[in-house]
Amino acid sequence: MKSPFLALVSFCLVVFTAPALAASLAPDMNIATTLASLVLVVIFIVFLAWLLKRMKLPGIQGADGALKVLKQLPIGQRERIVLLQVGEEQLLVGVTQHNISLLTKLEQPLAMDAQPSGDFANHLSKLLKTNDKK
């Protein structure tokens, strides 16, 4: 919520103060230079908003750490299997372009700091095989 509000306030501030500031700094500046400067500032603000969104900072998103993506395993161009930490539970979720579905809830959570990344795929295939037998 803060980022769009901050961008709107910054935009309004620039829109209302840029012409007066430009006129006071250089009285011979024409309207095209003023508008070009304004467009440049607006593009800069939009770029900063996009950059903040891409950085996924926890303070900006408002996340308290209750939901974390631990691992992702791509299985197609836009499909992947994601291991989520939700509080004390770990969930295995399938993500496609149009759907997100719960595959299984792990009874025994995986210790992520002691587990190498290649081992996740092996463990995942074992879990899927054991769930198919049930």
Short-list 130, 124, 41, 27, CA closest to 83? 124
Q: What is the pLDDT of residues 111-122, one digit of tens each?
A: 776 445 567 777
Reduce the DSSP state of residue 100 to 3 states and report it.
strand
- Tokens representing residue 72 in the block: 């992702």
Q: Which amino acid is at 60?
A: I
pLDDT tens-digit map of 40-94: 999 999 998 888 877 766 555 555 567 888 889 999 898 999 999 888 889 999 9
Question: Looking at per-residue confidence, does 116 or 12 come out higher?
Answer: 12
For 93-111, the pLDDT digits (tens) are: 999 999 999 999 988 888 7
Q: For helices 31-55 and 2-25, what crossing angle results, to 10°?
A: 160
Top-confidence residue, 25 or 85: 85
The predicted structure's pLDDT at residue 1: 46
Whether pLDDT at 25 is above 50: yes
**Does the pLDDT at position 39 exceed 60?**
yes
The C-alpha atoms of residue 97 and residue 88 are separated, in whole angstroms, by 28
